[in-house]
Chains A and B, each alone.
Chain A
Amino acid sequence: MSGTTMYQPGGTTTARGTTTSRRTTQRRVEPLYYVFLVPTLLVFTAFVIVPALIGIFYSLTDYVGFGDWSFLGLSNYAALFSDPRILESYGFTLGFALVTVVVAQVVALALAVALTRRIRFATTLRTVFVIPMVVSGIVVAYVFNFLFSNSLPAIATAVGFGPLEESILGNPDLAWLSIVIVSAWQTIPGALLVYTAGLTSIPSDLYEASALDGATPWRQFRSITVPLIAGFILINTILGVKGYLGVYDVIVGLTGGGPGTATSSVAMTIFGGFTGGDYAYQMANATVFLVVTALISVAQIVATRGRAVQL
Chain B
Amino acid sequence: MHRTSWPLTVLLGLATLTVLVPLYVTLSMAFKTSGQSADGNAFSLPAPFNPASFAEAWTLTRFPVSFGISLAVAAIAVVLTLFLSSLAAYAIARNWSHRFFRWSMIYLLAALFLPFPVVALPQIQLTALTGLDNPFGVGILHAMFQLSFSVLLYTAYLRSIPIELEESARIDGASTWQIFWRIILPLLGPMNATVGIFAFLASWNDFMMPSLIMSDPTLQTLPVVQNIFQSQFGTNYNVAFASYLMAMAPSIIAYLFAQRWVISGVTQGAVKS
Contact = CB atoms under 8 A, between A and B. Distances in A.
B125 A65 contact: yes
A135 B116 contact: no
B55 to A, nearest CB: 19
B120 A37 contact: no
Interface of A: 1, 3, 5-7, 9-10, 12, 14-15, 18-20, 22-23, 29-30, 32-34, 36-37, 39-41, 43-44, 47-52, 54-55, 58, 65, 111, 114-115, 117-121, 125-140, 142-144, 146-147, 150-151, 154, 185, 190, 193-194, 196-198, 201, 211, 232, 235, 242, 245-246, 248-249, 252, 266-267, 270-271, 273-274, 279, 282-283, 286-287, 289-290, 293-294, 297
A37 B118 contact: no
B219 interface: no
A135 B20 CA distance: 13
Interface in B58-86: 84-85
Given A3-B273, A138-B226, A47 B144 contact: yes
A183 B5 CA distance: 30
A73 to B, nearest CB: 20
Contacts of A138: 207, 223-224, 226-227
Contacts of A7: 109
Contacts of A131: 19, 23, 252, 255
Interface in B195-223: 201, 204-208, 212, 222-223
A147 B42 contact: yes
A51 B1 CA distance: 57
B19 A129 contact: yes
B165 interface: no
A54 B196 CA distance: 31
Label chain A's interface by main secondary structure. Answer: helix
Contacts of B173: none
Contacts of A294: 113
- The 4 residue pairs across chains A and B that have the minimum distance between CB atoms: A197-B267, A51-B122, A36-B91, A136-B205
Contacts of B11: 114
A30 B120 CA distance: 37
Given A29-B98, A136-B226, A138-B226, 20 more contacts: A33-B101, A36-B180, A37-B88, A40-B85, A41-B104, A44-B144, A49-B110, A125-B12, A125-B16, A131-B252, A135-B205, A139-B223, A197-B266, A197-B270, A211-B1, A232-B270, A235-B273, A242-B113, A282-B121, A286-B117
A144 B3 contact: no
A33 B125 contact: no
A55 B259 contact: no
A54 B121 CA distance: 10
A19 B125 CA distance: 43
A15 B117 contact: no
Contact of A119 (B4, B18, B88, B256): B4
Contacts of B268: 197
A148 to B, nearest CB: 11
A266 B117 CA distance: 9
B106 to A, nearest CB: 7
B9 to A, nearest CB: 4
Interface string B101-127: 110111111111111111111111110
A47 B123 contact: yes
Contacts of A9: 96, 102, 105-106, 109, 155
A270 B105 contact: no
B124 A274 contact: yes
A249 to B, nearest CB: 4
A61 to B, nearest CB: 13
A259 B248 CA distance: 28
Contacts of B191: none
Given A115-B12, A151-B40, A293-B113, A134 B118 contact: no
14 contacts: A19-B97, A48-B114, A55-B119, A119-B9, A127-B256, A131-B252, A137-B207, A143-B25, A146-B29, A146-B237, A147-B22, A151-B42, A246-B116, A246-B117
